[in-house]
Amino acid sequence: MAKSGRRRDWAKATDDTDIFPAVDDDDPAEPSPTEEDDQPAESERFVDARLRLKRFGRAVVDRLPQLSVAIVAGLALCMSFPPFGGWYLAIAAFAMLAWLRTRESTTLAGGFGYGFLFGLAFYLPLLPWISGLVGAFPWIMLAAMEALFPALFGLGAVAVRRLSGWPFWFAAVWAAVAFAQEAYIGHKLVQQAADLRTQNVVLASQNRGYKKDVLAITSGSGDEEEARLNGYAKPQERLYLVTAVPSPSPATPASPAPSSSASPHAH
């Protein structure tokens, strides 16, 4: 009996394993590690954008005199052209440009930026008539494209300002940029003229075809060909067409002859 009791005790369950509640991975109350990482990244980007905007505003304020001089120089050069005709303002405009380029604080990027701003102030009021032909957007885009050439001059002027005789070097850079501008515009005009000639050849060919069609219709050969295609005549068979007589074109009234006034006779 003792042995059977021992076996009964050994047969009892002795499982002491701890039981934990099930964990739901999709629990919305606890953010995932990816979401926790995204929130600091977004905040860092926002702070970085604010810092960049703040630095840009501070840079604009620090360079406000140079920016103002570039705008005034562009407007002065524009007013030296017709219909304003203030030719002496061109001298003042180039003097202000030289002051901008010879400052020690003006870098290569600054020379390019001041030149671009000068070009916008020059070309925008100089070419407003283009907006009446093609709209405001092409006018602004053309002014921006033309402003790239003064920007290139500003870049080159800053690069040669430390050379002896810098005014002559400034003039040489301006002449080189002006030559490049004229060469580019001339190339585009030649290309456009070639395109127009090609279009004219195509139009002339189409006009010759239309002329043949008109001659065929007016002479009756067109009606004859249409009748043959519709089965009214066989090949090598003579075809007669009965058509209405075309109405004569109205004659243009003759202009009345001027009446000659009778000259007075002395009695």
Mean pLDDT along residues 220-237? 67
Mean pLDDT along residues 236-245? 62
The answer to whether residue 230 scores a pLDDT higher than 80 is: no
Contact 97, 121 (CB under 8 A): no
Q: How far apart are CA 230 and CA 250, in angstroms?
A: 35
> What's the DSSP call for residue 161?
T
The answer to whether residue 106 scores a pLDDT higher than 50 is: yes
> pLDDT tens-digit profile of 150-172?
999 999 999 998 888 888 999 99
Selection from 148, 164, 173, 165 nearest residue 94 by Cα: 173
The answer to whether residue 12 scores a pLDDT higher than 80 is: no
Helices vs. strands in the chain: H and E counts, helices first: 9, 0
Q: How confident is the model at residue 115, as a pLDDT? A: 92
Q: How confident is the model at residue 173, as a pLDDT? A: 92
> pLDDT tens-digit profile of 26-37?
555 555 555 555
Angle, helix 136-160 to helix 166-219, in steps of 10 degrees: 150
Q: How far lies 179's CA from each of 107, 142, 175, 184, 263, in Å?
A: 25, 18, 6, 9, 70
Q: How far lies 28's CA from each of 22, 24, 32, in Å?
A: 15, 9, 9
Q: How confident is the model at residue 251, as a pLDDT? A: 59
Mean pLDDT along residues 65-73? 91
* Beta carbons within 10 angstroms of residue 204's beta carbon: 10
> What is the distance between the terminal CA atoms of the chain, rounded to a whole angstrom?
185
Confidence of residue 267 (pLDDT cuts 50, 70, 90): very low
Mean pLDDT along residues 59-76? 88
SS3 track for 11-50: CCCCCCCCCCCCCCCCCCCCCCHHHHHHHHHHHHHHHHHH
The answer to whether residue 218 scores a pLDDT higher than 90 is: no
Q: How far lies 44's CA from each of 41, 49, 110, in Å?
A: 5, 9, 29
Q: What is the pTM of this model?
A: 0.56
Return left, alpha or beta for 140; rule: phi > 0 is left, psi -120 to 50 is alpha, else beta: alpha
